[in-house]
Structure 1
Amino acid sequence: MTMVSTQTATPSTQKIGPAIKKPLVIVSVLVILAICGGLIYYFVSNSGSKDWRKNTVKVERGPIDVRIEATGTIKPVNEIKVSPKVTGLIKKLTVKQGDIVKEGQILAEMDKSNLLGAIEASRGSYLMAQDTYEKLQHGNRPQEVAIAELQERRSRDIVRQAVQNTIRLKAMVESATQTSLRDDTLATRQLYLESQGAASDQDRLNAETQAKVTRAQLDAAKRELAGAEAALAQNKAEAAAAHQTLLLSQMGNRQEDISQAKHAVIQAKGNLDSLLSQLDDMIIRAPFAGVITQKYADAGAIVTPTTSAATTSATSSSIVALAGVLEMVAQVAETDIGKIEIGQEVEILSNAYPEHPFHGHVTQIAPEAVVTQNVTTFEVHTTIDDDRKGKLLAGMNVSARFVAGRMNNALLVPTVCIVSRHGKTGVLIPEKDGNPTFKPVKTGPTSGTRTVVMRGLNDGDLVFVGLSKEGLEQQGYGDGGIKQQMGGGRQGGGRHGGGGGTSVPIPRSFGH
């Protein structure tokens, strides 16, 4: 009985099992599909309201350096054309274009043969004048003074002898005078006696002859006395001169003569120094450290400073061009010049080295503006403090950023968020449904990637970064349209819409 019942139950069980499992599988698949559909619907329905947030940033407060941007040019502080003072022949040129030279380094040598003879002659004149001055300054030698004393004594002796001779001659004249008077009286008496017959004619003649002889002797004595007196006067004058010579010899030379000799020395020394200076000018030296930027003449060329420098002319006005330390000259707008001060820091950016900013500080602010095409700017000169390798070259165009101050609690947005519409500056902010709308703002200073918002936003507001109206429509954010503030909604959408907002670049990650 048992075996029969077992065999009959097995077939019925096999028929009922598959019938029960098949509905269960179907139900499970339907449940899974329902769950997946719900999840897909949930994510799809919510993606439009959340994806737009990843393209926004919060407006935050923070510190920012206030910078003034301007364009500039690299220029040398000193730039000259080195020339000789006078026309001459270049004997030797020691530098070439591109050489870096130090202050005082020899650049060239001029022919100096014509100066050497003149210098020797001038040196001889100077030495002669110096000897004369020293001679007058030291006075007479003792031997010369002794000679003057001897001459003075001799003159006195001659005067003394002349005085004695004069005295003797005066006595002779006096005696001759008396004798002449006596003989004249005797002759007169003999003449009377002859007339009376008391004397003979011979006696009268003898008396008259004697009177004539004595008168002749008197005249000769007077003439000799006059000559002696004249000689005495001359001897006295010579004695006085000898005495004065002795005094001068004892006193030395006059101060005026010494001064005159000294001035002659100075004049001779000046002439010599002038020639030596011309000789030194034949050595052309660098007036300051720098680099040789141009070469206008070679050895053997004649340089004439009065002519213009030209490579095709027979002569040139310069030998080389020398540029000194480089500086940056920026053109700062009139509205910003009041914020620039001496010593202010500056950042210098060059297209040749975009990843390597240079730094310096303001050294000079031009007192006069430069007007170019109705734009008023001021030249601001700055140093270049950290270009030790000489990367910046004269003539390079650069950008300058002057650090004009610091704002510690400024409202900041990324600079890329700033757009403009119809000449108005603003940002794109999201509405509740994620649609962007243009909001005008007043911006302040910009420093690198951040800009100060002075009015129009609050701390914590969201703004779109790098989005445009076309980009939002293409990605299907919100209803795909831009509000009327953006320039005409759907009707003004695209590039041909009614006054659409200005587009800014869209990141590659937009919407992905």
Structure 2
Amino acid sequence: MKKFFKIVLWVVIAIVFIGTFVFLFLNSKPKVTTYALVSPTDTSIERTTVLTGKIEPRDEIDIKPQISGIISEINVEPGDMVHAGDVIARIKVIPEASSLSSAQSRVENAKIALEDATAKYERNKTLFDKKIISREEFETSETSWKQAAREVDAANDAYMIVRDGVSKYNASESNTMVRATIDGLILDVPVKVGSSVIQANTFNDGTTVATIADMNNLIFKGKVDETEVGLLAMGMPMTIAVGALPELSPKAVIEYIAPKGVEENGANTFEIKAALDIDSVSGLRAGYSANATVILSRLDKVLTVPEGVVEFAGDSTFVYVLTDSTSGQQFERRPIMTGSSDGINIEVKEGIDSLVKVRGDAIKD
């Protein structure tokens, strides 16, 4: 029995020894790496840049009152379409005490002058009828009487303007009515009934009653880095991507490139404006965030390889070309001249042709 256990023990030892030897032998053999092979192809290379920005109306008009007072009526709300001349709001005038007092004093003085002119006119009329005074003297008194009557009327109208902001002669054109100055869409009404408003003057811009814009005339306003602004030009087309409306792809054309950059976060950027195609603005709203893709350059049917197979060494570029595949893959490091790149494929100007095979990524077992 002891002999049997000895034999089993020696067999186990032998198996372990042989297995260890085989394992070490297999691991000592050099591993052969197999690479994917890539063929150069004729494709198109586009170099693009992406600008971030917003969709904005070309003309956004702030409607301001022509007189100070209190908003008594608002006839529109954001989203309404209006035409030039439409009444947006009405203002109740709060007269200044000194101006109101002066207007009242003018009315009283005009009435006194009218009473005096009336008395003279009636007296001179009686004398004229009796042929005591000349026609010239009578007509002079008549003219003074008419002028005094007109001054009373004018003084009363001026008093109404100071008190109510309305003239009886042009009530429909009163400054108390705030009107739209263009056809467009109401974007914002920042005031409410009861809000105080002031007219624009030398010292302030006045209160904005409403903001109007023509939503059929939109632009893309974005910014481009200084490293790429030199590649842009007026008239270059761009495709807009609106995050809120992924199904839309409006077209636009660059119409403005800022001549001066602005430093932001340590980098200089330049403002870009592009006019949107009028047929592609349906559904867009002012303030939508958007990205614009601009094609900076395009090459059609040029020899290219994936940029990942190119080795960059200083100012030189290389690829590994397959020279033998019969006894394992054999490669030759070959210099090439590259051109434009789109970040995925790169143009090959010299060094290889479409008949060679280039080493790609290693194939995992």
* TM-score (normalizing by structure 2): 0.54
Equivalent in 32, 40, 45 of residue 58 of structure 1: 40
Equivalent in 81, 86, 92 of residue 101 of structure 1: 81
Name the residue aligned to 1:373: 265
| Contact residue 336 and residue 351 of structure 2 kept, 8 A | no
Matches for 1:187-198 after TM superposition, within 5 Å: none
Deviation per residue, 1:385-444 (Å, 9 max, x gap): 14333246514041x223456545644445x65777688896865533457879776442
1:113: Cα distance to partner? 9.8
* AA aligned opposite 2:36: W
1:90: Cα distance to partner? 1.6
| Contact residue 305 and residue 318 of structure 1 kept, 8 A | no
* AA aligned opposite 1:83: K
Equivalent in 275, 282, 286 of residue 176 of structure 2: 282
- Relative distance call for 1:71 and 1:282 in structure 2 (3 A) is same
Name the residue aligned to 1:431: 322
Name the residue aligned to 1:358: 250
Counterpart CA distance in 2 for 1:424 and 1:353 is 44
Equivalent in 289, 296, 299 of residue 396 of structure 1: 289
- Relative distance call for 1:450 and 1:357 in structure 2 (3 A) is farther
- Relative distance call for 1:351 and 1:58 in structure 2 (3 A) is farther
- Relative distance call for 1:367 and 1:52 in structure 2 (3 A) is closer
Matches for 1:307-386 after TM superposition, within 5 Å: 317-325=207-215, 326-354=218-246, 356-385=248-277, 386=279
Name the residue aligned to 1:301: 195
Matches for 1:167-186 after TM superposition, within 5 Å: none
1:302: Cα distance to partner? 2.4
| Contact residue 250 and residue 281 of structure 2 kept, 8 A | no
**Structure 1 or 2: larger strand share?**
2
Secondary structure in 2 aligned to 1:52?
A: strand
Identity level (%): 19
Equivalent in 270, 274, 280 of residue 387 of structure 1: 280
- Relative distance call for 1:341 and 1:443 in structure 2 (3 A) is same
| Contact residue 67 and residue 199 of structure 2 kept, 8 A | yes
Counterpart CA distance in 1 for 2:285 and 2:319 is 41
Counterpart CA distance in 2 for 1:101 and 1:474 is 64
Unmatched segments (≥5 aa) in structure 2: 1-32, 111-127, 140-146, 201-205
Deviation per residue, 1:263-287 (Å, 9 max, x gap): x9xxx8xx99x96599543332333
Counterpart CA distance in 2 for 1:419 and 1:375 is 30
Aligned residues: 273
Counterpart CA distance in 2 for 1:277 and 1:438 is 88
- Relative distance call for 1:392 and 1:425 in structure 2 (3 A) is farther
Matches for 1:5-404 after TM superposition, within 5 Å: 52-53=36-37, 56-60=38-42, 67-97=48-78, 99-104=79-84, 105-111=86-92, 276=170, 279-304=173-198, 317-325=207-215, 326-354=218-246, 356-385=248-277, 386-391=279-284, 393-398=286-291, 400-404=292-296
Higher relative contact order (CA 8 A, sep 6+): 2
Counterpart CA distance in 1 for 2:187 and 2:275 is 20
Matches for 1:459-478 after TM superposition, within 5 Å: 459-460=353-354, 468=361, 472-475=362-365
* AA aligned opposite 2:283: G
**Structure 1 or 2: larger helix share?**
1
| Contact residue 45 and residue 340 of structure 2 kept, 8 A | no
* AA aligned opposite 2:81: V
Counterpart CA distance in 1 for 2:273 and 2:305 is 32
Counterpart CA distance in 1 for 2:175 and 2:322 is 81
* TM-score (normalizing by structure 1): 0.41
Q: Which is greater in Rg?
A: 1
- Relative distance call for 1:52 and 1:65 in structure 2 (3 A) is closer
Name the residue aligned to 1:44: none
- Relative distance call for 1:388 and 1:76 in structure 2 (3 A) is closer
- Relative distance call for 1:425 and 1:361 in structure 2 (3 A) is farther
* AA aligned opposite 1:350: V
Secondary structure in 1 aligned to 2:191?
A: coil
Counterpart CA distance in 1 for 2:87 and 2:311 is 61
Q: Pairwise CA RMSD of aligned residues?
A: 5.2
